[in-house]
Chain A
């Protein structure tokens, strides 16, 4: 049973470009969470999605960031017009139910904005 998969593992973008980060949850998991870890800081919650629905996006910046989890395919975190401050590690986690169930983390995508 494969764990949470994220790709790419490393992504380099120039300022102003778009970044698309993909997350495939563990088999059977229908809940996906995105977190951001800035250099030398702890993980911060961004968004929580179920299939085709955004449940909680309270940690997501209001502009340039969006997330989706379509009926088929991976969850996508999209960052438009990236800036240097977006450079961070972005982790995806999945669980097989919502409240209280363990979240399993992927290896992360390290985004570098030049």
Chain B
């Protein structure tokens, strides 16, 4: 059973709109939780990283939140752009081990 579950699996929004992606995890304890962006045909690129004691972390238009009590994280994207179309992957790290969620495939339409 995957220990990192993401929802929705796919999402279509209009350019300029905001969206929120969800991640539920059962990996515990963990060192940090990351959100990656993976463009089609490319490797994942880190967007945000949070330790288990952090609640929120921003990187430009990306804001990640973490609730260690409910074991949930979210990634909020504001003022979406066409270039935001990609898969967004929630990853929980413990030591050297990364456990990946299945990703949310986001499509931003003009």
- In residues 20-55 of chain B, which contact A (Cβ within 8 Å)? 31-32, 41-46, 49
Residues of B within 8 A of A (CB): 2, 4, 31-32, 41-46, 49, 89, 93, 95-103
Instruction: Identify the closest chain A residue to B87 (Cβ).
Output: A42
In angstroms, Cα B100 to Cα A44, docked, is 7
* Nearest-Cβ distance from residue B110 to partner chain A, whole angstroms: 26
Q: Which residue of A lies closest to B95 (CB)?
A: A99
B46 touches A56 (CB 8 A): no
Given contacts A42-B100, A100-B32, 10 further A-B contacts (CB under 8 A): A33-B98, A35-B100, A42-B102, A43-B44, A56-B96, A91-B43, A98-B95, A100-B93, A100-B95, A105-B45
A 25-50 binary contact with B (CB < 8 Å = 1; else 0): 00000010101000001111100100
- Which DSSP category, helix, strand, loop or mixed, fits chain A's interface? strand
A42 and B89 contacting across the interface, CB-CB below 8 Å: yes
B89 touches A43 (CB 8 A): yes
Q: Which residues of B contact A103 (CB under 8 A)?
A: 98
